[in-house]
A and B are shown apart, each in its own frame.
Chain A
Amino acid sequence: MNKQESGLKISNLKVKTAGKEILKGVSLKINPGEIHALMGRNGSGKSTLSYTIMGHPKYEISEGQIEFNGRNINDVSPDERAKMGLALSFQYPVAIPGVTVLNFLKTTLKAVLDREIPIKELKAMLKESMAKLEIKDEFLSRYVNDGFSGGEKKKLEILHLTLLKPKLAILDETDSGLDIDALKVVASGISALNEAGSAVLLITHYQRILNYVSPQFVHIFENGQITQTGTKELALQLEEFGYEHFAHNATKEVNYVS
Chain B
Amino acid sequence: MSAELKPLDNLSQMGLDYKYGFSDVEDYIFKSGRGLTPEIVSKISAMKNEPQWMLDFRLKALEMFYKKPMPNWGNTKLLNEIDFANIFYYIKPSQKQGTNWDDVPEGIKNTFDRLGIPEAERKFLAGVTAQYESEVVYHSIREDLEKLGVVFLDMDSGLRLYEDIVKKYFATVIPANDNKFASLNSAVWSGGSFVYVPKGVKVDIPLQAYFRINAENMGQFERTLIIADEGSFVHYIEGCTAPVYSTDSLHSAVVELIALPNSHIRYTTIQNWSKNVYNLVTKRAYAYENAKVEWVDGNLGSKLTMKYPAIYLMGENARGEVLSIAFAGEDQHQDAGAKMVHVASNTSSLVVSKSISKNGGRTSYRGLVKIHEDAKNVKSSVKCDALLLDDMSRSDTYPTMEVEETDVTVEHEATVSKVGEEQLFYLMSRGLTADEATSMIVNGFFEPFTKELPLEYAVELNRLIKLEMEGSVG
Interface residues of A (CB under 8 A from B): 51, 54-58, 77-79, 81-83, 87-88, 90, 93-99, 103-104, 107-109, 111-112, 143-144, 160, 164
Q: Which residues of B contact A57 (CB under 8 A)?
A: 421, 425
Q: Which residues of B contact A94 (CB under 8 A)?
A: 420, 422-423, 425-426
Known A-B contacts A96-B441, A98-B443; A111 and B426 likewise in contact (beta carbons under 8 Å):
no
A-B contact count (CB 8 A): 85
A78 touches B429 (CB 8 A): yes
A77 touches B426 (CB 8 A): no
- C-alpha spacing A143/B427, complex, angstroms: 14
In the assembled complex, the CB of B462 is this many whole angstroms from the nearest CB of chain A, namely 10
A96 touches B440 (CB 8 A): yes
7 A-B residue pairings within 8 Å (CB atoms): A78-B425, A79-B428, A82-B429, A94-B420, A94-B422, A99-B441, A164-B431
B447 touches A99 (CB 8 A): yes
Set B422, B423, B429, B437: member contacting A81, Cβ < 8 A: B429
The 4 closest A-B pairs by CB, nearest first: A98-B444, A98-B447, A111-B431, A82-B431
Q: Which residues of A contact B427 (CB under 8 A)?
A: 96, 108
A96 touches B444 (CB 8 A): yes
In the assembled complex, the CB of B386 is this many whole angstroms from the nearest CB of chain A, namely 15
Set B428, B445, B446: member contacting A82, Cβ < 8 A: B428
Q: Which residues of B contact A90 (CB under 8 A)?
A: 426
In the assembled complex, the CB of A81 is this many whole angstroms from the nearest CB of chain B, namely 7
Per-residue interface assignment for chain B, residues 409 to 448, with 1 indicating a CB less than 8 Å from any chain A CB and 0 otherwise: 0000000000011110111111111101100110111111
Q: Which residues of A contact B422 (CB under 8 A)?
A: 94
A112 touches B444 (CB 8 A): no
A164 touches B430 (CB 8 A): yes
In the assembled complex, the CB of B423 is this many whole angstroms from the nearest CB of chain A, namely 5
Q: Which residues of B contact A78 (CB under 8 A)?
A: 425, 428-429
Q: Which residues of B contact A97 (CB under 8 A)?
A: 444-445, 447
In the assembled complex, the CB of B431 is this many whole angstroms from the nearest CB of chain A, namely 4
Known A-B contacts A107-B436, A107-B440, A143-B444; A96 and B431 likewise in contact (beta carbons under 8 Å):
no
- C-alpha spacing A19/B327, complex, angstroms: 36
- C-alpha spacing A104/B448, complex, angstroms: 17
Known A-B contacts A57-B425, A78-B425, A90-B426; A108 and B432 likewise in contact (beta carbons under 8 Å):
yes
B445 touches A98 (CB 8 A): yes
- C-alpha spacing A186/B441, complex, angstroms: 28
B431 touches A54 (CB 8 A): no
> Chain A residue with minimal CB distance to B440?
A99
Tell me which of B429, B432, B433, B434 has the highest count of chain A C-beta atoms within 10 A of its own C-beta.
B429
Set A79, A95, A98: member contacting B431, Cβ < 8 A: A79
Q: Which residues of A contact B441 (CB under 8 A)?
A: 96, 99
Per-residue interface assignment for chain B, residues 434 to 467, with 1 indicating a CB less than 8 Å from any chain A CB and 0 otherwise: 1011001101111110000000000000000000
Q: Which residues of B contact A95 (CB under 8 A)?
A: 423
Q: Which residues of B contact A58 (CB under 8 A)?
A: 421
B436 touches A98 (CB 8 A): no
Known A-B contacts A94-B423, A94-B426, A107-B436; A99 and B444 likewise in contact (beta carbons under 8 Å):
yes
Q: Which residues of B contact A93 (CB under 8 A)?
A: 426
Q: Which residues of B contact A77 (CB under 8 A)?
A: 428, 433-434
Known A-B contacts A94-B423, A98-B447, A99-B447; A54 and B429 likewise in contact (beta carbons under 8 Å):
yes
Q: Which residues of B contact A55 (CB under 8 A)?
A: 428-429
In the assembled complex, the CB of A167 is this many whole angstroms from the nearest CB of chain B, namely 13
A160 touches B430 (CB 8 A): yes
Q: Which residues of A contact B432 (CB under 8 A)?
A: 79, 107-108, 111
A99 touches B443 (CB 8 A): yes
Q: Which residues of A contact B429 (CB under 8 A)?
A: 54-56, 78-79, 81-82, 87-88
In the assembled complex, the CB of B466 is this many whole angstroms from the nearest CB of chain A, namely 11
- C-alpha spacing A112/B428, complex, angstroms: 11
B443 touches A83 (CB 8 A): no
- C-alpha spacing A196/B183, complex, angstroms: 70
- C-alpha spacing A97/B442, complex, angstroms: 10
- C-alpha spacing A29/B327, complex, angstroms: 47
Q: Which residues of A contact B440 (CB under 8 A)?
A: 96, 99, 103-104, 107
> Chain B residue with minimal CB distance to A95?
B423
B444 touches A83 (CB 8 A): no
- C-alpha spacing A173/B23, complex, angstroms: 58
Q: Which residues of B contact A108 (CB under 8 A)?
A: 427, 430-432
Q: Which residues of A contact B430 (CB under 8 A)?
A: 82, 87, 104, 108, 111-112, 160, 164
Residues 301-334 of B at the A interface (beta carbon under 8 Å): none
- C-alpha spacing A51/B426, complex, angstroms: 10
B433 touches A79 (CB 8 A): yes
In the assembled complex, the CB of A147 is this many whole angstroms from the nearest CB of chain B, namely 14
> Chain B residue with minimal CB distance to A86?
B429
In the assembled complex, the CB of A108 is this many whole angstroms from the nearest CB of chain B, namely 4
Tell me which of B428, B431, B432, B433 has the highest count of chain A C-beta atoms within 10 A of its own C-beta.
B431
Set A83, A98, A160: member contacting B446, Cβ < 8 A: A98
Q: Which residues of B contact A107 (CB under 8 A)?
A: 432, 436, 440
> Chain B residue with minimal CB distance to A92?
B422
Q: Which residues of A contact B426 (CB under 8 A)?
A: 90, 93-94, 96
Q: Which residues of B contact A143 (CB under 8 A)?
A: 444, 447
> Chain B residue with minimal CB distance to A170?
B429
Q: Which residues of B contact A99 (CB under 8 A)?
A: 440-441, 443-444, 447
> Chain B residue with minimal CB distance to A88?
B429
> Chain A residue with minimal CB distance to B425?
A56
Q: Which residues of B contact A103 (CB under 8 A)?
A: 440
In the assembled complex, the CB of A161 is this many whole angstroms from the nearest CB of chain B, namely 9
